[in-house]
Structure 1
Amino acid sequence: MDCENVMVYSKPYYKLIQEESIEDKDVYYKFVNWLLGEFDLYLQENSTGLKVYYPSGWLSIKKRTDFTMEIIIASKSKIVCEKKYFQLVSIYNQVKRTFRYN
């Protein structure tokens, strides 16, 4: 996952938007499954992708095509928004290493 993304401020949230290519659709499903466990104490919706609500915002991960996914992180704090993004990058890289997709 590269670290080039778009962050915009739309009152009251900072939104970070990242479109990421994936090598295999199984990577996406394992990534979402890992996130379900990582954020199990927060309110979650997983009808279309995964949306997790945390105290100062939310994050959303959706599969666009078999080879792309969209990550949106919204937070009232720019710092929290960036921290959540780097947390997701770390988890994504861990999933790839664990299941040998890199």
Structure 2
Amino acid sequence: MNAPNALPPRPQITPELARELAARVKAHNGSTEMLAVMRVEHPGLRLLLCNEDDIPARMPTWLAHDGVAMYLLDATEHCVSLTTNEDRACGIVFTLLSGDDD
């Protein structure tokens, strides 16, 4: 018997997938509609957009592509945190870069 509220399996987060998603985030200027579409296309993958000022200054960028910095989410513990460990990641946080950092 299936568990009533079973979560979908955690998708593998790869740099290739992240670059593809970052390009879409950039092309749509971080629209909530595009994030909603991407969440439907990638069930189980947590996708968030935030201001680059909301990321701790000491946190290294996991990947940057096309004016979008990306950070990985880790929800393996009680609280969600940022990580650079792809094996622990359950999602991606996107930030649109204000300068030409890439």
TM-score (norm 1): 0.25
Structure possessing the higher radius of gyration over alpha carbons: 2
**More helix per residue:** 1
